[in-house]
């Protein structure tokens, strides 16, 4: 049976919770069939996240890493295409560290593409009845940082590891007082994650579906 490591992040930026942490905990209680599910919650800290990621990969030796995080303001589950070798954020991390135009890995390649089949994953989430889209940027904060680090580890030492990143909307209760702010219920996030895990485990080429933005 193959091993899938699903990670979420701690809350950040003053929020009391993070949908990615909630969904990871819910997955532990309702694991997908046919796979060995492992989970980890990562700190929103440049200094601490790398150690936590390395430790989880060394402990669980997964075949697939599906990392998740919050992208407040997005309405769908975003399947990220590209991880950039840059840390550049408007806000400090939870340890108070703010980074501007610093590489994630000095001397590393400018970017890595996701190594899960992104369009098949989007199609599977949609087929399960949950809004999803391909995203062309994971931002330049901790989510991109972990996505890049994991991709670099897969390229240099943990060969054979498939790496994907899913950005999640707010939970409805987190935006109840913010009219117009998109959100997604935990049950839908769970359905989407189950579909994404199944799709990421399927071998073979990605689906050639027209996606992306034409601007
Ligand atoms: N979202 C942030 C970091 C942690 C999280 O859940 C991001 O998009 O970078």
Global confidence as pTM: 0.96
In a domain, 15, yes or no: yes
| Structural domains in the chain (count) | 1
Q: Choose among 9, 38, 13, 4: nearest CA to 22.
A: 9
Instruction: Grade residue 208 by pLDDT with cuts at 50, 70 and 90.
Output: confident
The pLDDT of residue 82 is: 98
Instruction: Grade residue 212 by pLDDT with cuts at 50, 70 and 90.
Output: confident
Q: Which of 14, 23, 71, 137 to mutate to test the pocket of ligand 1 (most atoms within 8 A of CB)?
A: 71
In a domain, 213, yes or no: no
Q: What token pair was written down for 137?
A: 């940027």
The pLDDT of residue 197 is: 97
Statement: residue 168 has pLDDT above 80: yes
Residue corresponding to tokens 């999640």: 168
Q: Where does ligand 1 bind, in terms of residues with CB under 6 Å?
A: 9, 12, 18, 20, 44, 69-71, 139, 141-143
Per-residue pLDDT of 51-107, as tens digits, reads 999 999 999 999 999 999 999 999 999 999 999 999 999 999 999 999 999 999 999
User: For residues 205 and 92, what is the distance between their CA atoms, to the nearest angstrom?
Assistant: 39
- Mean per-residue pLDDT for 141-157? 98
Statement: residue 183 has pLDDT above 90: yes
Per-residue pLDDT of 14-31, as tens digits, reads 999 999 999 999 999 999
Please report, for the domain that includes residue 120, its CATH number. 3.40.630.20
Statement: residue 13 has pLDDT above 80: yes
In a domain, 206, yes or no: no
In a domain, 211, yes or no: no
The pLDDT of residue 204 is: 61
Instruction: Grade residue 203 by pLDDT with cuts at 50, 70 and 90.
Output: low
In a domain, 161, yes or no: yes
The pLDDT of residue 211 is: 79
The pLDDT of residue 201 is: 86
DSSP states of 105-167 as a string?
STT--SEEE-SS-HHHHHHHHHHTT--EEEES---SSHHHHHHHHHHHHHHHTSTT-EEEEEE
Instruction: Grade residue 202 by pLDDT with cuts at 50, 70 and 90.
Output: confident
Full domain range(s) for residue 185: 3-201
In a domain, 207, yes or no: no
194 catalytic per annotation: no
Report CA Rg, the chain: 16
In a domain, 174, yes or no: yes
In a domain, 20, yes or no: yes
Q: Which of 10, 76, 80, 194 is catalytic?
A: 80
């Amino acid at each position: 049976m193959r091993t899938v490591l699903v990670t979420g992040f701690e809350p950040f930026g003053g929020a009391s919770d993070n949908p990615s942490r909630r969904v990871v905990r819910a997955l532990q209680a309702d694991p997908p069939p046919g796979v060995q599910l492992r989970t980890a919650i990562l700190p929103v800290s440049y200094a601490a996240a790398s150690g936590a990621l390395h430790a989880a990969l060394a402990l669980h030796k997964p075949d697939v890493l599906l990392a998740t995080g919050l992208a407040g303001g997005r309405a769908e589950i975003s399947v990220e295409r590209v991880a950039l070798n840059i840390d550049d954020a408007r806000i400090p991390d939870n340890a108070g560290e703010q980074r501007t135009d610093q590489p994630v890995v000095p001397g590393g390649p400018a970017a890595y593409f996701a190594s899960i089949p992104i369009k098949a994953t989007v199609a599977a989430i949609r087929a399960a009845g949950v809004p999803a889209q391909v995203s062309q940027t994971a931002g330049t904060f901790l989510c991109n940082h972990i996505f890049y680090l994991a991709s670099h580890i897969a390229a240099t030492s943990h060969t054979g590891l498939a790496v994907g990143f899913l950005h999640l909307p707010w939970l409805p209760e987190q935006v109840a007082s913010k009219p117009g702010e998109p959100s997604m219920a935990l049950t839908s996030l769970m359905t989407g994650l189950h579909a994404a895990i199944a799709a990421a485990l399927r071998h073979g080429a990605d689906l050639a579906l027209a996606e992306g933005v034409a601007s």
